[in-house]
Structure 1
Amino acid sequence: MKKALLLLYSLFILFPCLAIGEQEISIGHEGMTFVEFANDLSDKYQIKVFFDKNWVENIRLKKSYSNENITAILSDILAGTQFRFLVRNNSIVLTKYEDVGKEFSLREKVDRTTKMVESVEEDKDFSNLQEQEYKIHEIGTALGKKKVKLFGKVSHFESSQPLKGVSIFLPNLTKGVTSDKDGYFELDLPPGFYTLNFRYMGLKPSSRKINLRGDGRINVQLLSETKTIKEVRVLAKDDKVRRTSMGIEYIQAKDIESLPSALGEPDIIKSTTMLPGVESAGEGSIGFNVRGGSADQNLILIDNAPIYYPAHFFGFFSAFNNDMIQEASLYKSSIPVQFGGRISSTYDIHSNNKIADKINGKVGISPVTTKAFLNLPILKNKLSIMNSFRFTYSDWIVDKIDSKELVDSKSNFHDLHGKILYKPNSNNQFELSYYKSKDEFQLHSDTLYNFNNFVSSLNWRYRFSEKLKMNNSVYFTSFSYDMSSAEIASNAFKLTHKVNEGGFKSYLNLEKDLYTTIDLGTELKYYNISPGDMKPYSEASVVNNNNLPEENGLEAALFLGFKREFMGNITAEAGIRYSLYGNVGKREELTYLDGITNRYNILDTIITSTGLNNIYHGPEYRISVNYALNPSTSIKASYNRTRQYIHLLSNTTSISPTDTWKLSDKYLKPQIGDQISLGFYKNIFNSNFELSAETYFKKVQNAKDYKDGAQLYLNEHTENEVLNAEGKNYGVELFIRKNKGRFNTMVSYTYSRSYLKSKDNTGEFAVNDGDWYRAPYDKPHNIKAFFSFKLSRRFIFSTNLVYHTGRPATYPIAKYSLQGIPIIYYSERNEYRIPNYFRTDISLLVEGNLRKNKPYHTSWTFGLYNLTARNNAYSVYFRSEDSSVAGYKLSVFGNVIPTVSYNIEF
């Protein structure tokens, strides 16, 4: 322990800065443990505390401290204990030494060399240290003896204490001795020139060049050694018990590398589906459902910019190379006030924000993709650029999918994801992020699909002081697709769709005191959507031009939030976000008889004004309370109201790149979600296991559903096909996680229900006679389990298991003939379900040898996806055959899918 403290004190000397001993701070509460006290010092005041946890396990604060200096606070806390402390350079070290100053003899300026002396009196002059190392020391008087005696004493420079067990040897003679308990040593040598080497653990090695002519003495002093090491990062594990917010999951990019995946690619998007309350929209599908919400009700951000289609190859691959990602936060409830625009969740993903100090990178190869990542420093500790690039050769995967519709199909994609980091000083950091991707998919050697993403953001973080910080971001994102078919010249066409969004956000974060944090800011978004443009592919085509008018919208918001601790065991977060939305510019709108929107009730067409019209606005409340029963147990409650002004119109249950995005207007009302949550959280077995249980109820106004046989494609007046429905979702989430040690696990069970009720309760467009019916993403029972075992330092074995109820479906239940015309009679909407889903996967991560001085590091990942080769139903469809209707099941992966990838990191 003493050596570790010596190293820490030496670091303090190497990096001098302003002392903190007299800084006045406010901290603590009665009963706070010393570990919590140290964590708050680090979080609130950037003061690091070094100590042995075993020393302080019984130390608790007896009161709170307000506007007192840290020296007085520590003296009071440690009064009556055996511990002392040193406050220096924004750091504190606890020690058991009675006199810290005497033990370590700290100085303001120290020359880091070894002190050695050639006289009986010990020389304390630092300027003489290097000279002693290199000059030739003349020892004794020549008297013609064949053997002479060299003797002396070795001591510690800072404390002047003699050193026992110092190794003194002569490399040329392979001869040596060790010092005794008084630091004394003797050597019998022939006269001549010698080099003496001195070695002692924890002290800097040194040597002496001597000309030994007769008996003589040399005294040597050794200085404590300071070794420069790479940056050490100490990160706190996510603790659901202590944090105020609920329904939040934090994901580190490194944590998903061992998760088994479909095609061997770590996937920051798919990894969310292993969390409680989150379900995949379908195997091989992008999008996920959070607490019974639809896929478009999730806001996905990358470096504060939204991305509309975060996938490749129809959802088999994530949009992002995991090497670029640092961390992500999924908010299922208790959504922070600075986020808005979706009613189910916010998934906030951040790429690496560390400025590189040397070139590093990674190359990965798998049977379906090749990827490369490079992080390049430009100005030391100030400017660096990182980029990742991926491309695929995945046509053989399409051939493996059991579908006649995919015969002679092909697919490929590539993407570029980069970031420029600039930190001119400690108070400013700028981040320019950019992402560009292109997908091509050809169906049946005929229809060609192209999907394009472009996302960019500029983020500026400025620190006015340790308590006041500002975050600014401006972004632009664009998603577009086009479809073309040229096989039949007369029917050849090209169809395009595009959605653009630009915005700005700025907010201040103020840590008013130890117990209060305030957030204040504003946000502005501008939407531009080209709903669809159909053109003939060539002059030989008879396809007519059909260009739907553009839609434009403006969304603005102001938000204020605060966090406050009460009485030591109650913490509350509250905030309000006031949002306003309106359509921008002239547009045609239909009017309908009695306000009933269908193609048979059209009365007239009107032209809106050029300014802001169809305005919607209202408050969004965010409240969370955490009551700590004890340091390892807490109860929480929260309420959220959220608003959504942009919608995805789709007849499918998952996000498809050919779906249409639509802004709220006169008839398509904004979706409004109100969610109440209650949770219980417990850490057990010394916090090695984390248990939680959350229950929620969510009510949705103006949820989107569709009339039977809805035609959404190139439809200028979609209000004739879309239903503004009511929604209700409720459920319970049970979760257990172990994230320490060689064996880690994560197991969850979710019971979740999701229902809709159409507001059109009567007439031909009524759904299920106006009663509640299952939403397309209603999956009551969900079980997920993940196990990871570190077999050794080089081998990590992982497996996961997924089971959930099949999603609802509408089936034909009868077939009859009317005047010779066959008619199919269907069940009520979503009355039945497709078969339940089950899958288990395994993977083995094999690290290369762990030698320290290697120019690069390698690793292999082997996996088996769908280990049991189960034919899970992606969808169920029916065909009329003779006098009956036959049902068929489509499976995406009906076999075991082996995966392997090889990575080189440097």
Structure 2
Amino acid sequence: MKHKLLKAVFTFIFFQKICFGLAKEVAPTLPVNKLKLKPQSTLLLINEENNPLLTNIAVTTPAQQNKINISGTVKDAKTGEPIIGASVYAEPSKAGTITSRNGTFTLTVPAGKIKLTLTYVGYQKETRELTQTEDLTLHFQLQKASAQLSEVEIKGGRAANHNVASVQAGITNLNIITIKKIPAFMGEVDIIKGLKLLPGIGSVGEAATGFNVRGGSVDQNLVLLDDAPIFNTSHLFGFFSIFNPNAIRDLTLYRGGIPAQFGGRISSVLDVKQKEGDFQKFAVNGGIGLISGRLAIEGPIVKDKTSFIVAGRSSYSNWLLRKMPDVTLRNSQASFYDLSAKISHRFNDRNKLTLSAYRSRDSFGFSSDTLYNWQSTTASLKYTHTFTSKLVLDVTGVYSLYDFNVLNQEINNASAYNNGIVFKNIKADFSYATGKHQVNFGATGIDYKINPGKLNPNSEFSQVIPLHLQRENATENALYFNEEYEVSPRLTLMLGLRYAVFANYGTGEVYQYQPEVPKRERTITDTLYYNKGQIIKTYTALEPRFSLKFSLAENSSIKLGYNRSQQFIHLVSNTVAVSPTDFWKSSNTHLKPQIGDQVSLGFFRNFNQNTFELSLEGYYKKIQNMLDYKNGANLFLNKTIEADLLPGLGKAYGLETSLNKNTGRLTGWLSYTYARTLISVKGATPEETINNGAYYPATYDKPHTLNMVSNYELNKRFNLGANFTYSTGRPITAPLSHYVIGGYVVPAFGERNQFRIPDYHRLDISLTFLPNPDKKRKWESSWNFSVYNVYGRKNPYSVFFKQEYGSPPRAYQLAVVGVPLPSLTYDFKF
């Protein structure tokens, strides 16, 4: 016992000397022949010459030392990737935690006999029994649970009690193993369509890949792919999302308490990570559907040191269109592809470098007149250095490009139009975990280059006049600090603070408008010119975040959260759903940042050893400078776009309930959401005021949403899946009357968004067949047959009004998918 105490004291002395530059005075093997204990466990060390070395060192004796820290890492045994959100549980103390985004954890437990249990969905449970009196660092490598085509299914699981144990409300670690079993549109496994079946998340229509979270518009969601932002998440105008399931490792959606390391959006963050290649052996997996095919190849470049993965997906819809009997369809085109790659290199246990890249392109043209195409390109380089098991540094460089083009091939109107945005980012993120503290802090610098739009004639016969909107330049720099602190076994706090500075800079022009009159081109009084690099407008933002979790019992908790965030770039859209024709715009002299303040309160309870999960969450959100448009606004190539954009005050509130069943032959969830999103626009003049300043529903306001998702394992070969969704129809503006001027019927519209299209509901089913579920073979496969919209509901995407000769305008509704849509998909792995 005495030797252990001496060892601890000398370690402490040596550390202190190094910290103060006095290490040379104390040799690591300093001989000691006397040890005198003083009262209150204070020690006096005496060397051979009987001279004191150091006095007043407070040391706790082993008898008094009843708490120790167990820290460590949790990784995939096959790929070496860190596992995020794994559950670490200690008995008999009943202390628990979950792993961080670097796969690390720290747990404070009583010394003595300890039983550690690690669990994570899709992996085998691991248990270790220890007898420990000192701090300890452990490294776990979890084995995947045996499952057919497990590599095709994305490893996006979570700890079994994550919903109760995590301090943040409104966070989802999406389990794509479950999402893969959901009936898919045209056989394409779609992450975002899976998200829309969760409580609090919706969209405005059938073909909208963009999603709305807790009353936010689609541009208020930050979508990250390996830290690179994605500015358009859709393929084929929203029918499919850009994420290839064969390339994705895991994803996390934050819609409540957003950690301080994320900024720039006010509704949610969808953090998607591409998986790393296998460091030990080569593997191939993919799938073939009715619309597209996909393939992923992975393996080691240098075994256990360097790995790669390349995944691609391409449609063959153009080939199908060529077979159509209709001439117009045969002359049309609709196609897409995406390609992703990732190289990972381990220098040693402490240093790692990863390079990730992504490229996608869409082309769409109806007949031969107009061709739309858009592309996204991203790249990220990340260096990870592990100082200790407690302190990790990530340095990341990011590049993201989004570019949209329209080619008009009519003789008189031949033209080329394009808009886009370029994003560059460098950031440093530190993660520190010790005892009851988990700390994240860092800094980030972002540069934006925005092209709002330019139009050029495309032939010598074209009558199109060139028009270029001025490019916009901006920077966004931020510092952040986030700490999660376990106050007691029952109470955990998360405190975060983010400070951001946004600057819009030249070259540029800023129009000055006549005061107290509506902004119009004719009310411009002056133009200010700014040179290259000259600051035009600066905004600063202080964004506090707060979350609290109070455990009522081991299987239930209450969570309270507050989140403030600011958004400096905005999506200007001609449609209710995100589409490629939209363009981005930065905050400037006339366009202020959006500010979101959200408060949420939730109750979480698990039953029957985490078989069932019950959640009940309420929220209230206030949004400043929420954008809407003037009546008759012109958004296309408008040099004075700020004159047609109206800032308003938004408020969103709702209640989200969900019951999940996680184990057994029948799994799935049932959720109901009541949500309202209202906006008030009250400008200085009647022209800049909507509905007399009263609150009115936003275009994506849908009060009631019901989702039911289920999967039933008939036997080892067959799985049956079904989902049903219902939601209130979205608001529209409709004419109340009409009048005749010069023989023309002119509709008189009522107040904005006071009517609704019919309600939406749909049933989908699927059947998955595993030919050889029990056989360990090099070639594994599965067949999936699904039917989308089983009973052929003609759900309206939009309602429009058309004038018939001699009668008032009549209402017509457009349904995107009004018939049952079957599909067949074959997945394979070898």
CA displacement 1:22-81 (0-9 Å, x = unmatched): xx999xxx999xxxx9xx8465799x9xxxxxxx99944799xxxxxx999654669xxx
Give the Cα–Cα distance (whole angstroms) in 2 for the partners of residues 375 and 567 of structure 1. Answer: 45
Cα offset for 1:651?
2.5
Query: Following superposition of structure 1 onto structure 2, how do residues 217-616 of structure 1 map, counting pairs within 5 Å?
Result: 236-237=159-160, 239-353=162-276, 355-395=278-318, 409-487=332-410, 489-511=411-433, 513-594=434-515, 596-609=518-531, 610-616=533-539
Give the Cα–Cα distance (whole angstroms) in 2 for the partners of residues 847 and 276 of structure 1. Answer: 31
Cα offset for 1:486?
1.3
Aligned partner of 1:601: which letter? T
Aligned partner of 2:286: which letter? V
Is the Cα contact below 8 Å between 2:610 and 2:662 reproduced in 1? no
Distance 1:523 1:73, change over 3 A: same
Give the Cα–Cα distance (whole angstroms) in 2 for the partners of residues 654 and 277 of structure 1. Answer: 17
Cα offset for 1:850?
3.2
Aligned partner of 2:828: which letter? I
Give the Cα–Cα distance (whole angstroms) in 1 for the partners of residues 611 and 801 of structure 2. Answer: 51
Distance 1:756 1:847, change over 3 A: same
Is the Cα contact below 8 Å between 2:624 and 2:650 reproduced in 1? yes
**CA-atom RMSD, angstroms?**
3.2
Distance 1:728 1:425, change over 3 A: same
Cα offset for 1:381?
1.1
Distance 1:57 1:425, change over 3 A: closer
Three-state SS of the structure 2 residue aligned to 1:884 is coil
Is the Cα contact below 8 Å between 2:797 and 2:813 reproduced in 1? yes
Match of 1:149 in 2: none
CA displacement 1:768-811 (0-9 Å, x = unmatched): 01111110110000000100111222221110011000010001
Aligned partner of 1:892: which letter? V
User: Which residue, out of 804, 810, 814, partners 1:890?
Assistant: 814
Identity of matched residues, %: 37
Give the Cα–Cα distance (whole angstroms) in 2 for the partners of residues 562 and 483 of structure 1. Answer: 47
Distance 1:543 1:689, change over 3 A: same
Is the Cα contact below 8 Å between 2:248 and 2:275 reproduced in 1? yes
Three-state SS of the structure 1 residue aligned to 2:515 is helix
Rg bigger for which structure? Answer: 1
Aligned partner of 2:347: which letter? P
Give the Cα–Cα distance (whole angstroms) in 1 for the partners of residues 158 and 504 of structure 2. Answer: 45
Give the Cα–Cα distance (whole angstroms) in 2 for the partners of residues 404 and 686 of structure 1. Answer: 60
Give the Cα–Cα distance (whole angstroms) in 1 for the partners of residues 575 and 615 of structure 2. Answer: 33
Q: Which range moved further: 864-873 or 469-478? A: 469-478
Give the Cα–Cα distance (whole angstroms) in 2 for the partners of residues 60 and 395 of structure 1. Answer: 62
Give the Cα–Cα distance (whole angstroms) in 2 for the partners of residues 232 and 830 of structure 1. Answer: 51
Distance 1:400 1:702, change over 3 A: farther
Is the Cα contact below 8 Å between 1:61 and 1:77 reproduced in 2? no
TM-score in terms of structure 1 length: 0.75
Cα offset for 1:819?
4.8
Distance 1:397 1:710, change over 3 A: farther
Cα offset for 1:254?
2.4
The alignment status of 1:798 with 2:721, answered yes or no, reads: yes
Is the Cα contact below 8 Å between 1:555 and 1:582 reproduced in 2? yes
Is the Cα contact below 8 Å between 2:277 and 2:299 reproduced in 1? no
CA displacement 1:226-268 (0-9 Å, x = unmatched): xx99777997335211110111111133231111111101111
Aligned partner of 2:344: which letter? L
Q: Which has the higher contact order (CA 8 A, sep 6+)?
A: 2
Q: How many residues align?
A: 716
User: Which residue, out of 638, 641, 658, partners 2:561?
Assistant: 638
Distance 1:846 1:746, change over 3 A: same
Is the Cα contact below 8 Å between 1:320 and 1:417 reproduced in 2? no
Distance 1:31 1:676, change over 3 A: farther
Is the Cα contact below 8 Å between 2:682 and 2:692 reproduced in 1? no
Query: Following superposition of structure 1 onto structure 2, how do residues 771-790 of structure 1 map, counting pairs within 5 Å?
Result: 771-790=694-713
Cα offset for 1:287?
0.2
Distance 1:45 1:366, change over 3 A: closer
Give the Cα–Cα distance (whole angstroms) in 1 for the partners of residues 645 and 771 of structure 2. Answer: 56
Is the Cα contact below 8 Å between 1:342 and 1:644 reproduced in 2? yes
The alignment status of 1:833 with 2:756, answered yes or no, reads: yes
Distance 1:631 1:25, change over 3 A: farther
Three-state SS of the structure 1 residue aligned to 2:412 is helix
Is the Cα contact below 8 Å between 2:764 and 2:789 reproduced in 1? yes
Three-state SS of the structure 1 residue aligned to 2:692 is helix
Is the Cα contact below 8 Å between 1:410 and 1:443 reproduced in 2? yes
Give the Cα–Cα distance (whole angstroms) in 2 for the partners of residues 785 and 730 of structure 1. Answer: 22
Match of 2:54 in 1: none
Give the Cα–Cα distance (whole angstroms) in 2 for the partners of residues 349 and 247 of structure 1. Answer: 17
Cα offset for 1:594?
1.1
Unaligned runs of 5+ in 1: 1-23, 49-55, 64-69, 79-89, 96-227
Match of 1:182 in 2: none
Match of 2:12 in 1: none
Give the Cα–Cα distance (whole angstroms) in 2 for the partners of residues 665 and 694 of structure 1. Answer: 36
Match of 1:662 in 2: 585
Give the Cα–Cα distance (whole angstroms) in 2 for the partners of residues 404 and 833 of structure 1. Answer: 37
Cα offset for 1:397?
8.2
Distance 1:62 1:505, change over 3 A: closer
Distance 1:711 1:406, change over 3 A: farther
Three-state SS of the structure 2 residue aligned to 1:314 is helix
Distance 1:75 1:260, change over 3 A: same
Is the Cα contact below 8 Å between 1:761 and 1:769 reproduced in 2? no
Is the Cα contact below 8 Å between 2:277 and 2:300 reproduced in 1? no
TM-score in terms of structure 2 length: 0.82
Aligned partner of 1:522: which letter? A
Distance 1:594 1:894, change over 3 A: same
Query: Following superposition of structure 1 onto structure 2, how do residues 725-874 of structure 1 map, counting pairs within 5 Å?
Result: 725-760=648-683, 762-874=685-797
Aligned partner of 2:491: which letter? I
Is the Cα contact below 8 Å between 1:253 and 1:326 reproduced in 2? no
